[in-house]
Structure 1
Amino acid sequence: MALNIPALVSIVFFYIITLAIGVWAARRTKRIQTNGNHTEVAIVGGRSINLFVGLFTMTATWVGGGFINGSAEITYLPGGGLVWLQVPLGYAIGLVLGALFFVTPMRSKKYLTMMDPLQESYGNTMASLLFIPALIGDTFWFAAILSSLASAVTIIMDIQNYLSIIASACIVITYTLFGGLYSVAYTDVIQLLFMIFGLCLCLPFAMMNPTSLSIVSTATQEVFQTPWLGRLDLQYIGVWIDSILYISLGSIPWQIYFQRILSASTTSQAKITSLLSSITCMTLAVPSVLVGAVAASTDWNQTSYGLPTPYERGEAGMILPIVFHYLCPSYVSVAGLGAVAAAVMSSADSCLLSSSSMFGYNIYKKIIRKQASEKEVMVVMRISTVILGSLGASFAFLSNSVYDLWFMCGELVYALVFPQLFCVLFIRKTNTYGSAAAFFLGLVLRVLGGVESLRLPPVIHYPWCTLIDGNYVQLFPFKTFTMLVTLFILVVVSYTTDILFKNSYLPIHWDICHITKANDIIQETKTEVELLQVRNTENCHLHGAEM
């Protein structure tokens, strides 16, 4: 297959537009930084992102390359189907829960990152440990979405995948490097528009291709493969529930989410942005679902792709670009490539900014070098952006399945970080001892439960653990069980240690985490606040009496 020149021109044009907008936003960032806090402007845009841009950047962050490719892949897979497409629904639920419960407590104290309340409650050591799963998640997510672009470019343009990975990574790193959240947010607007245009343009051509049957007829009837609606057997109910819970709750404790709600002008705007994004995420999954349904309804022997089918060749992960290339005219498939590229860019930059923000502010500024200046923190953030971007791009070469990497991203965060964040926001008196015990026990339980994507078999066989095709499969909702055990241990150990030290059952000098000192400081602060409130009340009465 010869090089597709129109596709090459279009992708280069898209890259230029994206870079130009990123540079423009970076210049705006510099103008704002001259009048304010450099770190705050870079991380949360000076808390001045309007509703329109906020909605676009929130939606574009979730609806990335992994989202549109993975949704088409799961719908198409003979063993999957629409019933197993849980990510769009899970994201929507997570965004709603975030708006209802997490926005207000996070914004009330004007935090800059998700790690701030964790660091404030559990100290620097635990904050560093909790940063690790978040960093791993961002890195693998970055790798997954770059690999999704590489698959599209390979199919449509006949270019080696490493070239597209390197080019995309360089563009994303460049504008994220200098513009911070402003560059990411404003490029997200154009990227989301490109993606919607490309998907909507290609979809009608794919659905009307004569080699494809009506997706209505193949939804419940087996023609070329199993129906694309899929089937949920009773024995897999536990797996389905486990997955939807960890996608919903596990999508909340990510810096990319809190970065956007903390950047909104007001708390009400942040809530509205999150709620509207839940609707747009579900809506933008529809084109990918239809692409997967078309792929399942196509007689591939009548196309130039031929047999065996994409599933039989192990190319189900590339089904979206395959459909665009083989079922759409060449000039239309170019727009499809632009849609994939836009989706990749919109999520990739968010991953880089997320990790570099937490490292520069929470790790470097608050732990490694507390006297670091604003400019020094910015330099560290930029260096970490380059390093993390390069690391993620290198992992993209090892990616075999978009959906596997996508699913694996949230598991450690769900099991280890979500319970900790929940406790610091909603359960008082949890402390560093409980945090440490919960972290290590949760990590052990999660690993011993088995990690299929890393080919780690389960050591702990939960109820209904079954041998399927030579591999043990956990049919029990063990991921949610692990999260709940982590939450339980955190609360129990925290309250137990608090009682033991507070009532002198254990010597105070054994309190290496200084929770008794922290409790004294909190109590003194509360007393000062109460005294201040009493004085204010007295002053009000005096003024009233004088009048």
Structure 2
Amino acid sequence: MQESTWFIIAIVLYLGVMLGIGLWSYRKTDGYEDFSLGNRGLPPFVAALSAGASDMSGWLLMGLPGALFVVGLAEAWIAIGLTIGAWANWKWVAPRLRSYSEIAGNSITIPSFFENRLKDKSHALRIVAAVIIIFFFTFYVASGMVSGGRYFEATFEGNYMTGMLIVAGVTILYTFFGGFLAVSYTDVVQGMLMFFALIIVPTMAIISLDNPMDIFSFPLDNAYGPHPDGNPTFFNLIAGVSFAAIVGNLAWGLGYFGQPHVIVRFLALRSPKDARMGRFWGISWMVLSMIGAVFVAMAATAFFAQNPDITITDQENFETIFLDMTRILFHPLLAGIILTAVLAAIMSTMSSQMLVVSSSLIEDLYRIFARKAPSERALLLLSRFAVLGVAILALLMSINPNDSILGLVAFAWAGFGSAFGPLVLTSLYWKRLTTAGALAGMITGAVVSTVWNLTGLGDVIYEMVPGFLSALVALVVVSLMTKEPEEAVRIEFDKARRLSNAASVDEDVDFHTEAQRIGTAEA
């Protein structure tokens, strides 16, 4: 049986499981809130792996190993920054956001939380936030489409467009029908696949080497990939890397505070106390997966050099080294199963992002401008077709990709981190925040990060740094220059803080009962 036939069998089995989860979720999805947020019933393990899988995308198995392979461990600063940022996000944002969203009008999207938090009757906050989400997520979803096309190029030596359409089609189907539950539970399967693949592939690659210990010295003075004379600084975290580059790479961690597809999982937790176990599972998965990605790159330097007859498919960004090694190392059926981990990474991120955009289009734009309140059935139907619309737009952008996967992700990540990161943190921890300050921060962060990227200044320092800092300054300055929030906003802030503290101190407290008691109590 041909190699491609085995791959097809493995992938068809995987795609069948994804569609099966989508069908199961469809039967569990009774209404609009179920579709958008799973009725706030997500267990911590599911929330953690869903957040991780939707966050990492094809970047973890393709973008990061490729960047490490080309540059060396200096690119690991991104992984270090992301790990620190993810831990901080679960520690300080998750429990407080879950509590505050319950108090603030039972918010089910990030834009609606901003509006309810500040009681913005003009809807300006909600509309601007929704527009930012739609703009940056279009690029983010496009990165997934590009990953899908390149996956099929490397795996089947097939057509980029065909691969992109297959990956997009299946992802759209289970997201379209199953909504948040389908996205979350497929993420669990996809997260486990990614985890095991990143452990197994580098381990087998190292074992296959003439001398497994070569991975710790080979790239220094031997030709490999883009380095005909070796890369003497491969293992040096700081040599050849400017201070600005290190700061920029670490700044990826700041982005976590503003990623809608990640923090929406916090809104879906059963209660704030689940954030502690979510942090344990999420960070454990993330650290081990990142280590696996580093070893993929290290092993690849010697593996491909010692096997000169094996060609790396992507000769520009080297983002296919994981795929190419897997094809060589394993029986085609097992290789096909492992390679589905890349599909898993791609699809988990795309589905989460399409769902967030769908929610923003319907919850944060359509419902505001609709002349009459739409029915539950209408909202559900519109949400599903919004998923389809976003996917089609991203597909059109991905037909002729002119950037790397990491480049597309970096642009969107910085945009969200800059626009929403400072606002999320100050919304949860600063009572003096005003609507004008929130708007100023969001717009400043989005504009600065975008302009910084388009003018090429991202080569000096990653746009997250100026974007996040300028947004924070604008937010604080404008808030202090404008009138204090109304009393109802300040009272609600205190209630949310008390609810979060109560859930953290006493893990046995009934969250919903406590939320109702505090929500109706006098300040």
Under a length normalisation based on structure 1, what TM-score does the superposition of the two structures give? 0.79
> 1:68 aligns to what?
61
Deviation track 1:510-544 (CA, whole Å, cap 9, x = no partner) reads: xxxxxxxx7266589899xxxx99x999xxxxxxx
Deviation (angstroms), 1:267: 1.0
Distance 1:47 1:267 in 2: 11
Deviation (angstroms), 1:200: 4.1
Q: 1:210 to 1:365 in 2, by over 3 A?
A: same
* Partner secondary structure for residue 373 of structure 2: coil
Q: Structure 2 matches for 1:407-426, cutoff 5 A?
A: 407-426=410-429
* Partner secondary structure for residue 411 of structure 2: helix
Moved more, 52-61 or 154-163: 52-61
Instruction: Say whether 1:7 aligns with 2:7.
Output: yes
* Partner secondary structure for residue 314 of structure 1: coil
**Structure having greater relative contact order (Cα 8 Å, sep ≥ 6):** 2
* Partner secondary structure for residue 125 of structure 2: helix
Deviation (angstroms), 1:478: 6.3
Deviation (angstroms), 1:381: 1.0
Distance 1:168 1:151 in 2: 11
Distance 1:536 1:205 in 2: 60
Deviation (angstroms), 1:365: 1.9
Point out where structure 2 has 5 or more consecutive residues left out of the alignment: 224-229, 495-516
Q: 1:436 to 1:261 in 2, by over 3 A?
A: closer
> 2:159 aligns to what?
160
Tell me if the contact between 1:134 and 1:254 (Cα under 8 Å) persists in the aligned partners: no
> 1:474 aligns to what?
460
Q: 1:314 to 1:349 in 2, by over 3 A?
A: same
Instruction: Say whether 1:28 aligns with 2:28.
Output: yes
Distance 2:142 2:213 in 1: 35
Deviation (angstroms), 1:367: 4.2
Tell me if the contact between 1:48 and 1:264 (Cα under 8 Å) persists in the aligned partners: yes
* Partner secondary structure for residue 251 of structure 1: helix
Q: 1:61 to 1:219 in 2, by over 3 A?
A: farther
Deviation track 1:267-296 (CA, whole Å, cap 9, x = no partner) reads: 111332134302211111222222211221
Q: 1:525 to 1:4 in 2, by over 3 A?
A: closer
* Partner secondary structure for residue 371 of structure 1: coil
> 2:73 aligns to what?
82
Distance 1:364 1:355 in 2: 12
Q: 1:336 to 1:134 in 2, by over 3 A?
A: same
Point out where structure 1 has 5 or more consecutive residues left out of the alignment: 459-471, 500-517, 538-547
- Amino acid across the alignment from 1:335: I
Q: 1:186 to 1:435 in 2, by over 3 A?
A: closer
Q: 1:310 to 1:10 in 2, by over 3 A?
A: closer
* Partner secondary structure for residue 317 of structure 1: coil
Deviation (angstroms), 1:349: 1.1
> 2:378 aligns to what?
376
Tell me if the contact between 2:96 and 2:272 (Cα under 8 Å) persists in the aligned partners: no
Taking every aligned residue pair, what percent have the same amino acid on both sides?
19
* Partner secondary structure for residue 171 of structure 2: helix
Distance 2:90 2:372 in 1: 33
Deviation track 1:459-517 (CA, whole Å, cap 9, x = no partner) reads: xxxxxxxxxxxxx9425x76424422322222222222327xxxxxxxxxxxxxxxxxx
* Partner secondary structure for residue 65 of structure 2: helix
Distance 1:478 1:20 in 2: 41
> 1:241 aligns to what?
247
Deviation (angstroms), 1:72: 1.0
> 2:510 aligns to what?
none
Deviation (angstroms), 1:213: 6.1
Instruction: Say whether 1:45 aligns with 2:38.
Output: yes
* Partner secondary structure for residue 288 of structure 2: helix
Deviation (angstroms), 1:233: 3.6
Deviation (angstroms), 1:386: 0.3
Q: 1:478 to 1:188 in 2, by over 3 A?
A: closer
Deviation (angstroms), 1:171: 0.9
> 1:143 aligns to what?
142
> 1:105 aligns to what?
96
1:117 corresponds, among 110, 113, 118, to: 113
> 1:430 aligns to what?
433
* Partner secondary structure for residue 372 of structure 1: coil
- Amino acid across the alignment from 1:83: A
1:280 corresponds, among 281, 285, 289, to: 285
* Partner secondary structure for residue 232 of structure 1: coil
Q: 1:301 to 1:390 in 2, by over 3 A?
A: same
Distance 1:150 1:12 in 2: 17
2:273 corresponds, among 263, 268, 272, to: 268
Q: 1:355 to 1:202 in 2, by over 3 A?
A: same
- Amino acid across the alignment from 2:51: M
Q: Structure 2 matches for 1:386-465, cutoff 5 A?
A: 386-399=388-401, 400-449=403-452, 451=453, 454=454, 456-458=455-457
Tell me if the contact between 2:448 and 2:466 (Cα under 8 Å) persists in the aligned partners: no
Deviation track 1:284-314 (CA, whole Å, cap 9, x = no partner) reads: 12222222112212354743235xx767x31
2:469 corresponds, among 477, 484, 489, to: 484
Q: 1:43 to 1:274 in 2, by over 3 A?
A: farther
> 2:47 aligns to what?
54
Q: Structure 2 matches for 1:246-257, cutoff 5 A?
A: 247-257=252-262
> 1:194 aligns to what?
193
Under a length normalisation based on structure 2, what TM-score does the superposition of the two structures give? 0.83
Deviation track 1:227-269 (CA, whole Å, cap 9, x = no partner) reads: 5424424761122113312x21212222222221222222111
Distance 1:525 1:66 in 2: 39
1:296 corresponds, among 288, 293, 301, to: 301
Distance 2:450 2:379 in 1: 35
Deviation (angstroms), 1:115: 1.4
Instruction: Say whether 1:314 aligns with 2:320.
Output: no
